[in-house]
Structure 1
Amino acid sequence: MFRRAFWFTTGAAAGVWATTKVQRKLRSLAPDALAVRAADKAVDTGHRLKEFALDVRAGMAQRESELNDALGLDAPPDGESAGLLPGRPPGHQLGPAQQPGRTRPYDRNEDH
């Protein structure tokens, strides 16, 4: 009789444990739980990408300063970084189309 009671209790405990485990898994796979988990992962990924970008920028700035020191380029000549023309007075700046790195729009009158 004690054997039967033992196995009955063991079976009931195993059934309760399995039922609880299945219910937890079903709750974790519900659409609301999946949406919350996906949002948390997206936020975490965004934080990691931001940290990575900040690390890259810091490394770029450090490497740029190392290269400037190695090449002897401690500071740019006065006014060139602000779009000023070299040899011109400080009030004379380049126009938007003449800024370094900017291209001019196509002008048909130049061809004739």
Structure 2
Amino acid sequence: MFRRTFWFTAGAAAGVWATAKVNRKLKQLTPESLAAQAADKAIGTGHKLKDFALDVRESMARREAELGEALGLEAPVDPGLPVRRHFAVEAAEHVGPDRSLEATNYRKLPYNSYNRNEDH
């Protein structure tokens, strides 16, 4: 009699445990839960990318200081000297008749007056 009671109780406990586990897994697979998990992972990835960018900036500034020190660029700047700004892209000379930007040594870019940010 004791054996039957033991196995009945063990089977009931296993059934309750399995049901609880299946219900927990089903709740994890609902659309709301999946969306929340994706959002959490996206936020975590964003934080990791931000930390990486900050590390890169810090290392870049440190290396620039090392190079400046090694090359003697840390000398005080004469205030009488003109400051020349370096631009990544030179300004366009003029807009041509075919409404494309004509810049020296650059390919022609189509002129587009539509601003994508106006709709937002």
Provide the TM-score with structure 1 as the length reference. 0.72
CA separation of 1:10/1:104 partners in 2, compared to 1, >3 Å: closer, same or farther? closer
**Deviation beyond 6 Å, 4+ runs, structure 1:** none
Point out where structure 1 has 5 or more consecutive residues left out of the alignment.
84-98
- Taking the aligned partners of 2:78 and 2:46, their CA distance within structure 1 comes to 39
Deviation of the 1:103 alpha carbon? 2.1
What is the correspondence of 1:10-49 to structure 2 with a 5 Å cutoff?
10-49=10-49
Corresponding residue number in structure 1 for 2:90: 103
Provide Cα deviations, 1:12-65, integer angstroms capped at 9, x if missing partner.
Answer: 000000000000000011111111111111111111111110110010000000
Corresponding residue number in structure 2 for 1:71: 71
CA separation of 1:31/1:104 partners in 2, compared to 1, >3 Å: closer, same or farther? closer
Point out where structure 2 has 5 or more consecutive residues left out of the alignment.
97-120
Higher helix share: 1
- Taking the aligned partners of 1:11 and 1:104, their CA distance within structure 2 comes to 79
- Taking the aligned partners of 2:91 and 2:54, their CA distance within structure 1 comes to 34
Provide the TM-score with structure 2 as the length reference. 0.67
- Number of residue pairs matched by the alignment: 92
Provide Cα deviations, 1:37-95, integer angstroms capped at 9, x if missing partner.
Answer: 11111111111111110110010000000000001111555455x43xxxxxxxxxxxx
- Which of these two proteins has the greater Rg computed from alpha carbons? 1
What is the correspondence of 1:53-72 to structure 2 with a 5 Å cutoff?
53-72=53-72
